A and B are shown apart, each in its own frame.
Chain A
């Protein structure tokens, strides 16, 4: 019987799922994923986790709880830093420890430490450490990773060309996806800001992206903005942004706002998110300066869908009213 590794569908799953899956496939390890977030997962997560944590962390606990009896290992890497001199959110730093102390009866957790704060060489160490659980052949591990990384890079590049990641996860082999959709078919372009684990989890954000798409709106997410460009714009901040995701979110938002390439910004934030409390203030100020409409949607385990719908509708109505305003020129042709 092959060894089974569980990957919880939460937190960085949405960023790195393809990389992880491919890597484990190459090592001939069976990957078991938890299903998409649903009510049961949310409820078990809320019960297991400390009350003060943010929604995505609670949901993540639920996913781990779902997987714990079904697999031999659970893969929860410890992301400390993804870029030189930068950090991830403190909750990522302590995620495996939080899970370990909140849920009983867990299988072995693979909590490889990814710390690229000082140098990128740590990545190789982290990869080897993960692979060691399954094979003793370092060459095989590195080869498996390199191949997976190439595929992952392709996916990232595809996103930068404007493919909505929600369409893409799971279909990455069929690369004939239309990258240049007919721009005129969209009425408005909205930047949906927020962390990947809020934006792409359809259950906790109540299908926000699809709701926008159904109203004929082009949705742009943080992941669709070229990282280099985002980093360039993040340099305009008066102080170096020390969170990698802060760089992406603030830089990405700044680039589109300054180019006036969007009609509005929706910031999707989980209640109690520490990074967002800083980032959204910075983005809101920038949007105000450039007269781009901005709204904030906060989600937690109690959010009612009707209220969210009303707010989205009101925001879109407001965008459409602006068209009638003489001083408001269309932003893109």
Chain B
């Protein structure tokens, strides 16, 4: 079994080390590129949302590298992500690829299929093995996310922010040649040390922006056109409302209650949106308020074109913005997004926040 899974930000780093540790052969699709997107758009249904198109591109590229099994998490509504696996299977069959799908559907769809899939993937024989394997995976995910967050902080404060970029690029290059959990942990430690040695400005107070919105567009740097780096180079401190760590903590680790911060976000969203709207719509509204309470200067909502839950959230965010005089910008991403226009909008937004901050400070 040669396992592959679609890209979503740095998930592949933890995923690769984790499955290699369990003795699976893992084939990571090449990092998302315009070629990936082009292939995806060509073969995927026309009106589907962006993540599926990129995933199709990822799959084709990994199949060409020899993968024969695809791992995907599932869901059962109301967001259309739940039907991704079926559509993807159809598209790949059309292209003549014979490939296995392992879809991890939520527990309420039945214990047995989930258990069988997990045992197969984790090469586990009993529940204890699953827990031990899960712990390793959890450590890896946490560390990989922490590293990215650290790089975001350093970039905002660094005297030369491009130094951070080169360290991170170097890290990405090494990841591909690293094998297994221990080596990966060491690599991350090394990178962290390097990041900590980057020279930083003294007495600098950066603008703080929270990234909220649809999970895939927030996490995957190719789709959001490296928004974290772009803002970082403008001296802005960026924090993402959704990371793999937050997702795992909410959906797996604290199952079925949900994690503390996410529950707090539900509570914050309550005056505006009482019930779920699918995807991360409710979390988006909650996150905007969460960042406001934490003293952030503004938030940016990211969504792929036609994302149903985020459209509902967007119409509510305008009221949130008005009620608290809190700047919120929405950026919609699809295969047509042009980088120049995108950058202009980011610069304008950052300028606005700077000016607002100065006004508060100097009257």
Number of A-B contacts (CB under 8 A): 120
Alpha-carbon separation in the docked complex, A240 to B103 (Å): 13
The answer to whether B83 and A52 touch across the interface, beta carbons within 8 angstroms, is no
Residues of B at the A interface (CB closer than 8 Å) are: 45, 47-49, 76-80, 82-83, 85-87, 89-90, 109, 272-279, 281, 305-309, 311-316, 318-319, 332
Decide if A277 touches B45 in the complex (CB within 8 Å). yes
- Contact between chains at B319 and A88 (CB < 8 Å): no
* Per-residue contact bits, chain A 229-261, to B (CB 8 Å; 1 contact, 0 not): 000000001111111000000000000000000
Residues A50 and B86 in contact in the complex (CB < 8 Å), given A90-B78, A93-B276, A278-B48: no
Q: A33-41, A97-105, A127-135, A206-214: which lies at the B interface?
A: A97-105
Q: Which residues of B contact A278 (CB under 8 A)?
A: 45, 48, 80, 83, 87
CB pair A86 B77 closer than 8 Å: yes
Query: How far apart are B53's CB and chain A's nearest CB, in angstroms?
Result: 11
* In contact, B80 and A274 (Cβ under 8 angstroms): yes
A273: chain B residues at CB < 8 Å are 47
Q: Residue among A89, A101, A240, A276 with the most chain B CB within 10 A?
A: A101
- Name the B residues within 8 Å of A52 (CB-CB): 305-306, 311, 314, 332
Q: Identify 6 residue pairs between A and B in the complex whose beta-carbon atoms are under 8 Å apart, listed by A's number.
A: A50-B315, A52-B311, A90-B79, A101-B316, A101-B318, A237-B86
Q: Chain A interface (Cβ within 8 Å of chain B)?
A: 49-50, 52-53, 78, 80, 85-91, 93-94, 97-98, 101-102, 113, 115, 237-243, 269, 271-278, 280-282, 285, 298
Q: Which residues of B sit under 8 angstroms from A271, Cβ to Cβ?
A: 47
A87 cross-chain contacts in B, Cβ below 8 A = 77-78, 278
Chain B residues with CB below 8 A from A89, complex form: 78, 308
**20 further contact pairs, Cβ within 8 A, besides A94-B281, A277-B49:** A52-B306, A80-B276, A90-B277, A90-B278, A90-B309, A94-B313, A101-B316, A113-B274, A237-B86, A238-B89, A242-B76, A271-B47, A272-B306, A273-B47, A274-B49, A274-B307, A274-B308, A277-B45, A277-B48, A280-B45
Docked CA distance A32–B350 (Å): 48
In the complex, the chain B residue whose C-beta lies closest to that of A101 is B319
A275 B311 Cβ-Cβ under 8 A: no
How far is B308's CA from A273's CA once the two chains are assembled, in angstroms? Answer: 8
Inter-subunit contact B85/A239 (CB<8 Å): yes
Q: Are B78 and A94 in contact (CB under 8 A)?
A: no
Contact present for A98 and B316 (CB under 8 Å)? yes
Interface pair A53/B315, CB less than 8 Å apart: yes
Closest-CB distance, B240 to chain A (whole angstroms): 22
Please report the C-alpha to C-alpha distance between residue A130 and residue B332 in the assembled complex, in whole angstroms. Answer: 37
Q: Given contacts A49-B315, A91-B311, is CB(A240)–CB(B306) below 8 Å?
A: no
- CB neighbours (8 Å) of B109 from chain A are 240
The CA-CA distance from A88 to B277 in the complex, in Å, is 10
Partner of A239, one of B86, B278, B281, B318: B86
B278 (CB) vs chain A CBs: closest residue: A90
* Alpha-carbon distance A243/B83, docked complex (angstroms): 10
Whether A281 lies near B90 (C-beta < 8 A) is: yes
A114 to chain B minimum Cβ distance, whole angstroms, is 11
Q: Which of B311, B313, B316 has the most CB of A within 10 A?
A: B311
A90 touches B85 (CB 8 A): no
| In-complex Cβ contact of A97 among B80, B87, B316, B332 (8 A) | B316
Q: Which residues of B contact A298 (CB under 8 A)?
A: 47
For B79, list chain A residues within 8 Å (CB). 90, 274
CA–CA, A277 and B52, complex, Å: 11
Q: In the assembled complex, which residues on chain B have CB atoms less than 8 Å from the CB atom of A90?
A: 78-79, 277-279, 281, 308-309, 312
Q: How far is it, in angstroms, between the C-alpha of A86 and the C-alpha of B278 when the chains are bound?
A: 12
Do residues B308 and A50 form an inter-chain contact, with CB atoms below 8 A? no
Q: A86-B77, A93-B278 are in contact. Are A281 and B312 (CB under 8 A)?
A: no
Chain B neighbourhood of A115, CB < 8 A: 275
Partner of A94, one of B277, B305, B307: B277
Q: Is the CB of B306 within 8 A of A243?
A: no
> B77, A277: Cβ atoms under 8 Å?
no
Task: State the CA gap A202–B90 with chains docked (Å).
Answer: 34
A275 (CB) vs chain B CBs: closest residue: B80
Tell me which residues across on chain B come within 8 A of A80, comparing CB atoms.
Answer: 275-276
Contacts of B318 on A, CB cut-off 8 Å?
Answer: 50, 101-102
CB of A59, distance to nearest CB on chain B (Å): 15
